[in-house]
Amino acid sequence: MNKVEIKDGVYWVGAIDWNLRDFHGYATPRGTTYNAYIVKDSKTALVDTVKAGFFDELQSRVDAITDPRDLDYVIVNHVEPDHTGSLPSVMEITPDATVIATRKGAEELLRYYDCDGWEIQTVKTGDTISLGEKTLSFIETPMLHWPDNMVTYIPEDHLLLSNDAFGQHIASSKRYADENSEILEDAATYYANILMPFSLLITKTLQKIGEMGIEIDMIAPSHGAIWRNSGVGNILDAYRGWGLTESNDTAIVVYDTMWGSTEKMASAIAQGIIDAGFEVKVYHLGKSELSEIVREILEAKIILVGSPTINNGMFPSVGGFLTYLRGLRPKGKVGSAFGSYGWAGGAVKAIAGELEKTGVMVVDPLSVKFVPGADDLAACAELARKVVGAAEMQER
């Protein structure tokens, strides 16, 4: 097996999961990778491991570089099992290695695994371990993506081993971002579905790293491709923009429909958005992936959600979407609710309430009885104008 050396003495030893299609509710049509790295010097460290079931692949990659029994350190940047599932197998081979984690990470390891006999050393921001010529320097990054997270920086190589941050869910035989097409799109989908709730923390963490004055010319995350050269600046700029919830003049219309009435309203609203000068993207929930929709919401100013009323409430598909969206806590959005009903309404009010709880500024929800007529469709266009107007006002 060929070695994949990303810097002198630093090797990618991860695993490629070609078949992953769902990552706790986030659709991953292109699979993923679980990236791990060997840092070889007078002493040797393994930074992160791989998901359970991929240990053999990790081991064969490590075997090509060093005897795994000789590992001095196993760095656990993050305890989530996609990165530690193979840790017990690693520790069986190299029981004398010291496991390095944050204090929270050590607590979580004890909950997940039988750590009997493991030496676990906790570290905090600013702590370092010398491997010889190279230094491992640790920076805590809580909630990116769990409370335990940290990143490992190697100052001699200007290399940031960033774990979940800056990752993408893609399975690829190409290790670098610049070798993969549409990689920023994959990074945006990953950010929207995994990291969007933590945008404020991401901004603060990036500021903290900036203030530390560390030089970075390569970012090697725990999923997907590695950023190098101009890619480093591109992904850092993208994270700054997403963290600050920068948005463009786009509206996302999301709906489900029973007998086509709510769909007619969605179409009339979409045309109204276009006529008001915004771009629009329309998603039928029965035909779209939630992860794709929230990727678009990440950078949109407006979100409109429609559902017919069924049994005095909204469609289950709309409820599922709103639950997913609420957890991701998008910031600074303007929107509304719309939908048709037969005798007793309920869906539109319920959607408006959920959007408000999500933090969306809701403008004049619109209900239509049975089938929208010409006046109703004109009201849809008017709603579109009002929502665009409110989004423009919010920006000033």
Residues at the interface with ligand FEO (CB under 6 A): 78, 80, 82-83, 145-146, 164, 222-223
* Residue 164 is among the residues annotated as catalytic for this protein: yes
- Residue closer to ligand FEO by CB (options 157, 164) is 164
Return the closest-CA partner of residue 393 out of 305, 301, 299, 329: 301
DSSP symbols for 179-231: GSTTHHHHHHHHIIIIIGGGHHHHHHHHHHHHHTT---SEEEESSSPBEETHH
Q: What is the DSSP letter of 119?
A: E
Of 11, 26, 37, 78, catalytic: 78
* Residue 145 is among the residues annotated as catalytic for this protein: yes
- Residue closer to ligand FEO by CB (options 168, 262) is 168
For the beta carbon of residue 1, count every other beta carbon within 10 angstroms.
Answer: 10
CA dihedral of 296, 302, 303, 309, whole degrees rounded to 10:
-160
Of 73, 190, 239, 283, catalytic: 190
* Residue 284 is among the residues annotated as catalytic for this protein: no
* Residue 80 is among the residues annotated as catalytic for this protein: yes
Q: How far is the CB of 221 from ligand FEO (least distance, A)?
A: 9
| Token pair 């933090």: residue | 359
| Token pair 């640790």: residue | 138
Of 41, 145, 153, 157, catalytic: 145
- Residue closer to ligand FEO by CB (options 80, 157) is 80
Q: How far is the CB of 99 from ligand FEO (least distance, A)?
A: 17
Structure tokens at 169: 């869910």
* Residue 169 is among the residues annotated as catalytic for this protein: no
Of 157, 223, 256, 376, catalytic: 223
Q: For the chain, percent helix, then strand, then coil, each to nearest 5?
A: 40, 25, 35
For the beta carbon of residue 145, count every other beta carbon within 10 angstroms.
Answer: 19
φ/ψ bin of 156: left (φ > 0), alpha (ψ from -120 to 50), beta (otherwise): alpha
Return the closest-CA partner of residue 218 out of 228, 230, 209, 231: 228
- Residue closer to ligand FEO by CB (options 141, 222) is 222
Residue nearest to ligand FEO (CB): 80
Return the closest-CA partner of residue 68 out of 42, 99, 51, 90: 90
Of 17, 82, 256, 296, catalytic: 82
- Residue closer to ligand FEO by CB (options 12, 146) is 146
Contact of 46 with 71, CB cutoff 8 Å: yes
Q: How far is the CB of 23 from ligand FEO (least distance, A)?
A: 8
* Residue 96 is among the residues annotated as catalytic for this protein: no
Of 48, 80, 108, 157, catalytic: 80
Structure tokens at 246: 């920068």
- Residue closer to ligand FEO by CB (options 82, 263) is 82
Q: How far is the CB of 14 from ligand FEO (least distance, A)?
A: 12
**128: phi then psi, degrees, rounded to nearest 5:** -135, 155
Q: How far is the CB of 33 from ligand FEO (least distance, A)?
A: 10
Active site residues: 24, 78, 80, 82, 145, 164, 190, 223
